[in-house]
Amino acid sequence: MYAVIESCGKQYKVAEGDVVFFEKLDSEEGKKVAFDKVVLVSEDGKVQVGNPYVKGVKVEGKVVSHGKAKKIIVFKMKAKKNERKKQGHRQPYTKVEITGIKTAAKKAEKVEKTEKVEA
């Protein structure tokens, strides 16, 4: 089972147990995060595509850490003008471990199981 989620202006293909690097999120380390903008869900060969998002589906994850990517060098130069500008940049990121993909069908199965146990 996998899902395509939208976060930080980008789309990511995720599955349970994956570790994904998102642009900086406003969550502390160890906290849970939920992504409700699910564009596509594939489960047992059945594909659901949202318009624009799939209803009743949520992807949950846990923030592992925050950090910065490797430094990139931005160098601008104008030829024959003796004009040069060198700049470095490190993009901040948040490392998230995907803990589960919750669908409406899974919720219904859990309710049925609890009803059978009670009866």
Question: In terms of residue numbers, what domain contains 97?
Answer: 2-118
Q: Per residue in 42-74, pLDDT tens? A: 998 899 999 999 999 999 999 999 999 999 999
Q: Per residue in 29-42, pLDDT tens? A: 999 999 999 999 99
Number of domains comprising the chain: 1
Alpha carbon 99 to chain centroid, angstroms: 11
Read off the pLDDT band of 104 (50, 70, 90): confident
Question: What gap in Å lies between CA 94 and CA 7, rounded to an integer?
Answer: 12
The answer to whether 12 and 4 have CB atoms below 8 angstroms apart is yes
- Is the full-model pTM beyond 0.75? yes
